[in-house]
Structure 1
C-alpha cells in the first residue's frame, strides 16, 4: 500500500473518491476493534461516501488490516502541534485528576490527548462535507442525508438527565473541512493555561457556541438504555454510541445492564447482519419478552 507524503501531519493511503466522507479516529488496538464493527455497520447501510480512518502512531499496523479490507481509506496522523504545557495539562493522569469522570468509567486505554487528533479532519479539504463518528459507535440506519446539515451540527449529550440537552456530544458531528477553520482552532486551542476538561468535546462547544442540533437519535448514548428508557426507540436510532464502558471489554462493570446492546455490537463486529431492530428487546424487558416491573 503506497502512502502519499503530506507535510501537514497527515499521510493518506489513497485519494478521495467522493465529495463526502464518514470519518472515525483510531488511536490503539481497542479502538481498531471498535472501528471494525463501525465499518461493518456502515457497509450495511450502502453509503456511497468515503469511509476514512484517521489513525495515530499508537495503532499497530496489523490492527489496521481489517479496516483496509473493509475498503477504508487509512490516514496516518500526527498529534497536533501543541505546547508542552498544553500536553502536560491534558495527559491522562493530569486531566482525569483535575476533571474526574463521575457518571461512568473510562477504560484504561483512554488517552485524552489523542482525542484532539479528530480536529485534523478539518484539514481534509478534498471533501465538501464530512460526518465524524467515534470508533465506539454503530450505524443502524443510513445517515447520508446529514451531510446536508450545516457546520457545526451535533447531538446533545443526553444520557442521565434532560437538563443535558444544552451540552453537545462530540462523538457524532457534521463538519465542513477548511484550512482556515483548522488554523483558527489551533490558535484558540492552545491559549496560555487553556484547559479543556472533556478535551475536544469541551473545545468544540466553545468554538461553535451556536452549534446546530442533530436529533438525539443520531447519537443515542448507551446509558439512555437504563437511565432514560422512555427516550429509547430502536426504530428511530441512526447511531448507537457506546460511551464510557466499551462493549469489547471483558471486565465491563455494566455488562449485565447493557447486555442486549453488547450482544448487538458483537454480532456486527463478526460481520453479521444488523437484522430487524423491531425484534430487539426494549429497555426493562425480561428474557421472555415481558416488561420488568418498575423497581
Structure 2
C-alpha cells in the first residue's frame, strides 16, 4: 500500500472525451500482455492448496433494504459457482432485521459496520444513487480476520468460478474503467491492514473525488501504484459492463464473461419503471434473465417464491427459451410475423389466417392456441405463408406474449381472432411502427386517469374538456398492435412474476401490463394509426363470449390500474399521454388570403381589426 499526499495526487478528468474505442484497445492489449499467461498457470487445485495458508473471503456492502434483492442474487450467483471461501456482507444500521436474517440463511456472514460520514453536499441524485453510504466500503480494510478479500458491488452477478483471483492478484488489483488511468472499484482484490484503514479514514474527508464517491477517492489513494503495476490489472471479463457492447471490448469478453456488472440507472430489478434515456445501453435480455434466475432461486431457498396455480408456467417457458437461444436475433426487418390469440374459434380463425396470408409483408403466422384441452389443427395450411400453432399447457392470458421459438422478424403483429383490418392498413401500420419501434403502435387507443390519491380509472376515451378540442390516450389495446419482438421475452421472463400472478388470478389486464412495461422502460407513449378503412371488432358482440363483454369488465380494469401503479410501480404512474395519431398523407389544406383579410385581421369579436403600429424607418427597406 502506498499512502499519497493529497496535493501531489490530483485526479483531473481531462481525458473524459477520448475515444472509448482507443481506450478499449489499450485495455485489451494490456490485459492480454500482463495477465493471460499468468492466468493459464493457475488451477483449482492451486487455489485449494492456498486455503491452508491464507484466510480469504468475498465481501460486499449493503446500505439498506433497497438493494437487498440485488445482494441476494449476487450472493446466490457466487454460491452457485461452488466457491471455496466465505462470503461477508458489511451492513449498515438501516438494513432491517428481516434482511439480515435472509442474508444469513443464504449462507453469508453479516457484519455490522458504522457508517462513515459522506464528505460532499447531499443532493437528490446522490441520495438516490446511495453515494453517501458507499464510503463505508473503507471498512473492508478493517476485516483483519482475513489476509485477502475480493470485494464486489452487489449489483454484480457471478457467471463462473473466480476463486483464482485470490491467488493471482495482490492489493490493490482492479479492472480498468472506461477512462484512462482509472480503475473501476466494482471488483477489487484488497489486503486488510489496520494502518491502511487508519490512514484512509484520516484523509478521505479532505480529498476531492472525480465522481463525488468512493471510487474517486480509491483512485486517488491507490491509483498511482495501480496504473504503474500492470500485474494489478484484472482482465475485463471479471467486470463486464453491458455498455461494452457498443465498443470493441465486447468482442473480447462476450464469450468468456466471469462477472456481469449492472451499472447505470437501468437494472434487472427496476428496468420496467426506471425509464432512463440510456436504457438500451445498460440492458440486455439474456444477462437480465440470468439475474432473474438467481433471484428466483434465492427466494425459493428463503421460502418466499410466489406460488399460484400457473406459477410453473413462467419458469418452464423461460428456462426453455434461455437454454435454446444464446441471444435472440431477429434479423428480418422488412417483414413482420402475425401472432393470433384464439380460444376454440376454428371457423373464424381459418378466415382470419386466410386474410393475413394475403398481406404482402407477412413472414409467418403464429397461432397461440389457448385451449389446453383441445388439440390444435396442426395440418392447417393456406397459401405460401407458413402457419405455426403454439399449443399451451396453461390457460393464461399471458400466453399471448410468450417468446416464440424460431421467430425471425424484428416486429410482431399481436392480434385477437375477432378483429379485422384491411391489408393496406395493416401494411401502413407496420411502416409507422418502423419509425417508432419502442412504441406500441395500433388501432385501438384507450385512456386512463387518476380519480383519487390512490385510485385510477380506465376509460374507452378521454372526456372532452371545455378548454381543449382534442382527446388524449395512454394505452393501446393489444387486440391489434405492432411491437418489437424483444418485448415478448422482456414481458414473459424478466418482468416481475407478480404481474403474471395478478393477471392469471383475475383473467384480465395483460394488455395494460404490457403497455406499462414498455412505457415505463422506454418512456415512449403508444401511437394510434388511422387507416383508410374502419377496423372491425367482432369481440364487442356479447354472443362471442369475449372477456370485454362480461359485466364488471371496466371495474376490473380500474382495479388493475390501481394495483399495478400502487403496488408494482411504487405509486408512480408509468403511462404517458399522447394526442397524436398517424394517418396517410393526401394533402394539407390551406386557405389563400389577400393581404388585408383573414384571421390575422380579426379581433376577438370576429370583426376586422385595425392594426395601428409604428414601424421603424429602416424596416421599410427590408424585404
- TM-score, structure 1 as length reference: 0.75
2:122: which partner in 1? 91
1:266 maps to which of 256, 271, 292: 292
Alignment partner of 1:73 is 2:141: no
Q: How far did 1:214 drift? A: 0.6
1:118: which partner in 2? 137
Secondary structure of 2:111's counterpart equals strand
Alignment of 1:248-287 (within 5 A): 248-249=269-270, 250-253=272-275, 254=279, 257-271=283-297, 280-281=326-327
Contact preservation (8 Å) 1:137, 1:241? yes
1:247 maps to which of 268, 271, 276: 268
Secondary structure of 1:71's counterpart equals coil
Distance in 1, Cα, partners of 2:259 & 2:148 = 18
Alignment partner of 1:156 is 2:171: no
1:9: which partner in 2? none
Alignment partner of 1:203 is 2:229: no
Query: Structure 1, residues 21-49: CA drift from partner, whole Å, max 9, x if none?
Result: 10011112121111100111111111111
2:519: which partner in 1? none
Distance in 2, Cα, partners of 1:266 & 1:255 = 18
2:242 maps to which of 192, 204, 222: 222
Alignment partner of 1:172 is 2:187: yes
Q: How far did 1:260 drift? A: 2.4
> Which ranges of structure 1 fall in alignment gaps of 5 or more residues?
1-16, 97-107, 159-163
2:152: which partner in 1? 133
Contact preservation (8 Å) 1:140, 1:239? yes
> Which ranges of structure 2 fall in alignment gaps of 5 or more residues?
1-51, 227-231, 299-314, 332-402, 411-623
Distance in 2, Cα, partners of 1:267 & 1:79 = 32
Query: Structure 1, residues 177-229: CA drift from partner, whole Å, max 9, x if none?
Result: 001000111122122xx332421101111101221211011111122234557
- Cα distance change of structure 1 residues 90 and 155 upon mapping to structure 2, 3 Å threshold: farther
- Cα distance change of structure 1 residues 28 and 186 upon mapping to structure 2, 3 Å threshold: same
Distance in 2, Cα, partners of 1:227 & 1:252 = 24
Contact preservation (8 Å) 1:260, 1:281? yes
Contact preservation (8 Å) 1:91, 1:112? no
- Cα distance change of structure 1 residues 64 and 222 upon mapping to structure 2, 3 Å threshold: farther
Number of positions where the alignment pairs a residue of Structure 1 with one of Structure 2: 251
- Cα distance change of structure 1 residues 64 and 223 upon mapping to structure 2, 3 Å threshold: farther
- Which has the greater radius of gyration? 2
1:184 maps to which of 181, 199, 207: 199
Distance in 2, Cα, partners of 1:137 & 1:117 = 18
- Cα distance change of structure 1 residues 215 and 79 upon mapping to structure 2, 3 Å threshold: same
Secondary structure of 1:166's counterpart equals coil
Distance in 2, Cα, partners of 1:56 & 1:165 = 33
Distance in 2, Cα, partners of 1:92 & 1:109 = 9
Q: How far did 1:121 drift? A: 0.8
- Cα distance change of structure 1 residues 145 and 291 upon mapping to structure 2, 3 Å threshold: farther
Query: Structure 1, residues 62-117: CA drift from partner, whole Å, max 9, x if none?
Result: 1233211111000111112x4xxxx3624244x85xxxxxxxxxxx7422111111
Contact preservation (8 Å) 1:38, 1:136? yes
Secondary structure of 2:237's counterpart equals helix
Distance in 2, Cα, partners of 1:187 & 1:259 = 44
Distance in 2, Cα, partners of 1:165 & 1:278 = 39
Q: How far did 1:235 drift? A: 3.4
2:90: which partner in 1? 54
- Cα distance change of structure 1 residues 205 and 64 upon mapping to structure 2, 3 Å threshold: same
Q: How far did 1:291 drift? A: 11
Q: How far did 1:258 drift? A: 2.3
Secondary structure of 1:21's counterpart equals strand
Q: How far did 1:156 drift? A: 1.2
- TM-score, structure 2 as length reference: 0.37
2:257 maps to which of 233, 237, 241: 237
Q: CA RMSD in A?
A: 3.1
Secondary structure of 1:240's counterpart equals strand
